[in-house]
Amino acid sequence: MKNSPISCKQLLTMLKRQHCRPILPIRHLSNRRRQPLEAGQALHETRPHLLKPGELTPGITALEYHERRMKLAKDLSPKSCAIITSNQVKYASGAVFYPFQQSTNFFYLTGWNEPDSVMVLEKPTNNLNDVVFHMIVPPKDSFIEQWEGFRTGVEGVKEIFNADEAAESTMLPTYLAKIINRNDNLYFDLPKDKTNVNSSALFSTFFTTQDNSQGPETIHNVIRQASGHKRILGLHKLIAELRKIKSPAELRLMRRAGQISGRAFNQAFAKKFRNERTLQAFLEYKFISGGCDKSAYLPVVATGSNALCIHYTRNDDVIYDDEMILVDAAGSLGGYCSDISRTWPANGEFSQAQRDLYEAVLNVQRNCIELCKASNGYSIHDIHEQSIDYMKMELRNVGFNGIQKWDVSKLYPHYIGHHLGLDVHDVPSVSRNAPLQEGEVITIEPGVYVPDEPNYPPHFRNIGIRIEDDIAIGADTYTNLTVEAVKEIADLENVMQNGVSTEIPADVTNPLDY
């Protein structure tokens, strides 16, 4: 388009006359703008080492975000609007804020990573060409931007993020009310602790705008006043069905996050640590140094009997040579999570008891991973039920004499796994009983946690073991997204005793160039 005599404005006019909307951001239909882009997040123009041309977030293009919105719009009724809110910045104490975490549904549909924003997808007719993508975002403000960094603003959200219409958040009450009033159906989700659409606390957890003439206005007030006789419909399940199946681009991001995280584990196996917090810090450094954005969740670093607590996150104990170390930790990349658990002996060599119990758990995991093919017709629940039977057999084989199925639930109290994606426990509303489909990603993470009780073999007491990998479901096969993290006993002992044989990239600036 660069050498075309048709201007960007003329091209957009032609597209509108033909009742179709551009599927890429406007900036890709014209020459590069003369003034530098100022946005509240990384762009190709400002961070070319992180994003390729056409991408809104690492690895995900503007076109893919557009296609996600169109898939959602297809499921909406005519004369409807779907309202999705971003998250707010949350504060630990006073002016000390937590790192911002965007609403994953909001991020999935927009790629927008700023707080205090609202997305509206409006579908006036059954024709998808008529769908309007609205964004209501914080205005540009030089004073705030000096303290908090650039905001993208109204013009930026249209030019960069392909919003058809946009307004400043100060205009939220009137702008949103107009959209609601001209539609018959309203899709949005109540907070989990609210069941009454007229509750005065509805959306109070979201941001508040200030209108000098009206006083504080919340999203709740706007919806309550404008929704009247509208039909109110849930939205989360529609988005969950879209998020459940990962695109090739999403799978590439998750594979890369798994690869980086797995290599970090191998480097940890090769070192000796004196305390849990140092091991945690080492892994988190390696995740980020290897190319991940951050840790996907608060790591579990549990030695000895601490591993009997499944979500132990104190990570403040000393590591003793005769203990096992259980770590559940991984990085995220472009918003997409990895999730890995490994268990290994602190002194670099498995004792016989550690070896026997570890091999039992590993056998269960191997068997369950083999079930992760769409052609098998298994659901996550089916795989979990199988894992209990496998675990009962394996524990009997190593000396848990007479153990029954109900005993297994005490030693193995958690589920075999969960969906994985933008959230660590992705799309929880998706049924565990639905047969797995190609493109889904789940974890397979059997574990055994033996308490210090007389009815269990004494040499296994106070040992906790969990082995977890991320598995992408294929039609007739599967892909282990975290295969780099070694888990066979021979491989673990080799790395612990001899170190990592291959050089691992560090201080990576372009994590998706591989």
Diameter of the chain measured on Cα atoms = 85
Among residues 70, 176, 84, 183, which one has the least CA distance to residue 127?
70
427: its two tokens:
């799309």
Least confident range from 3-12, 135-144, 454-463: namely: 3-12
What confidence category does residue 227 fall into, taking pLDDT thresholds of 50, 70 and 90?
low
Provide the domain limits for residue 226.
Answer: 8-241
269 in Cβ contact with 292 (< 8 Å)? no
What confidence category does residue 35 fall into, taking pLDDT thresholds of 50, 70 and 90?
low
Does 237 share its domain with 253?
no
Structure-model confidence comparison of residues 221 and 404, the more confident one: 404
**Predicted local distance difference test score (pLDDT) of residue 205:** 33
Instruction: Assess if residue 2 is contained within a domain.
Output: no
Instruction: Assess if residue 431 is contained within a domain.
Output: yes
Among residues 438, 249, 265, which one has the least CA distance to residue 333?
249
Question: Going along 390-484, which residue ranges are E strands?
Answer: 441-444, 447-450, 463-466, 469-473, 478-480
319 in Cβ contact with 406 (< 8 Å)? no
Helix (H) or strand (E) holding 211: strand 208-211
Instruction: Assess if residue 259 is contained within a domain.
Output: yes
Ranked by mean pLDDT, which of 211-220, 260-269, 494-503 comes out on top?
A: 260-269
Does 316 share its domain with 429?
yes
CA distances (Å), origin 245, targets 419, 423, 438, 442, 475: 10, 14, 7, 11, 13
> Which tens digit of pLDDT belongs to each residue from 431-445?
999 999 999 999 999
181: its two tokens:
């009033």
Q: Choose one of 193, 219, 241: the last residue of a domain.
A: 241
Mutual angle of helices 248-269 and 276-289, in 10-degree steps: 140
> Which tens digit of pLDDT belongs to each residue from 161-185?
999 999 999 999 999 999 999 999 9
Does 80 share its domain with 214?
yes
Does 232 share its domain with 250?
no
What confidence category does residue 17 fall into, taking pLDDT thresholds of 50, 70 and 90?
very low
Q: What's the CATH code of the domain at 319?
A: 3.90.230.10
Does 301 share its domain with 162?
no
State the Cα–Cα distance between residues 462 and 328, nearest whole angstrom: 18
Does 251 share its domain with 222?
no
DSSP string, 285-318: HHHHHTT-SEESSPPEEEEGGGGGSTT-----SB
Looking at every residue in the chain, the average pLDDT score rounds to 89
What confidence category does residue 192 fall into, taking pLDDT thresholds of 50, 70 and 90?
low
Amino acid at 4: S
Percent over 70 (pLDDT), the chain: 87
> Which tens digit of pLDDT belongs to each residue from 327-336?
999 999 999 9
Does 153 share its domain with 38?
yes
Instruction: Assess if residue 504 is contained within a domain.
Output: no
Average pLDDT score over residue span 338-342: 99
**Predicted local distance difference test score (pLDDT) of residue 7:** 47
Q: What's the CATH code of the domain at 230?
A: 3.40.350.10
Instruction: Assess if residue 233 is contained within a domain.
Output: yes
Does 135 share its domain with 268?
no
38: its two tokens:
């100022």
Phi/psi at 337 (5° precision): -95, 150
Residue 21 has pLDDT above 80, yes or no: no
pTM of the model: 0.89
Amino acid at 305: S
Does 355 share its domain with 387?
yes
DSSP string, 85-102: E-PPP-EEETTEEPPP--
Residue 198 has pLDDT above 50, yes or no: no
State the Cα–Cα distance between residues 62 and 229, nearest whole angstrom: 36
Does 20 share its domain with 86?
yes
Residue 63 has pLDDT above 90, yes or no: yes
**Predicted local distance difference test score (pLDDT) of residue 24:** 52
**Predicted local distance difference test score (pLDDT) of residue 3:** 45
Structure-model confidence comparison of residues 455 and 223, the more confident one: 455
Q: How many domains does the chain have?
A: 2
Does 237 share its domain with 318?
no
**Predicted local distance difference test score (pLDDT) of residue 137:** 97
**Predicted local distance difference test score (pLDDT) of residue 191:** 55
Instruction: Assess if residue 250 is contained within a domain.
Output: yes
